[in-house]
Structure 1
């Protein structure tokens, strides 16, 4: 991959990912090895959560298109090698969350992908991108399931912070526009124009200037 062209987004928006895509089957050994190593990246790179979660759904029936998309994820990593979470000292320890669901986005089973990202003091501390187990009958049902999972995570975090002696007010839940929906990056492939602003709002930024400063 040293000579490969970098990619500005991990997945292509025009190539549908599904089990039966018409391309030839290919050896899954290398695919599984690379994807297994990438799983660890999701601990500090929420911008990669959806792509890695989506690719892992095809390990048992791998095709050439799946492998090409994995290579695209690697080309994105090449471009963002020094990217990571930029945690800042908060001015207040407010807790808030973004929750979203892509209704019927799975082309094989028509299940939905749900996601959340939770912030404490302006820093993301918990995030998830996962396929729902059953088919939602409407977008509202898919969204409610996502909200329920997000609420459970919020309650767990509030209890943890309470045990640490850190009081957190109950987070406000309200509707926001699609452009401000930070969890959208965790539910579906996005174009470069959509992906980069949301990645910035996840506080995933280029750490190269910081690294250069440490070396001076």
Structure 2
């Protein structure tokens, strides 16, 4: 089956930002008197705030969850967003996908504001067919909403003709719920065991390694 479209996660996949999100969450939690070690927070990265906060603070009421999510976003924007850098060859991979006639979709749990910034950072406005952010859906990853919404923006393309490229088990879980397989990357800091147990089709080090092996990868077959 020829792959017609590829849905790319951004944080930890195309942009080296996962550790920055961890630090922003650490500061936000500290602001309400809560402390978690960085690994505990990192293990939840890939989820949107709507999924991450209830996992770590299940007793926090909805209003305080919203306040905490907003605070984390403010911290990330003020301290870290402009420090985030694309992984080497991230732009080249997306351009290569487009050049092969496959559609490029960015599908992230991050906010629309962050997505817009990343589009410029990656210099892919002319490469991307469609985008979906956490601002577009009721539930972020690992719920399927991000990817199911992206699929609806690809008329005539079926789930079996699509692959996801992501770095977290939550990308894989969300994709599976839509009937989509995932090519996983180690660049987000999750172990092979975690990614494989979640159901990764294959695992690469990063976008550069995937680009180098494109023709042999599930994306290029």
Q: TM-score, normalised by structure 2?
A: 0.30
Structure whose alpha-carbon radius of gyration is higher = 1
Higher helix fraction (1 or 2): 2
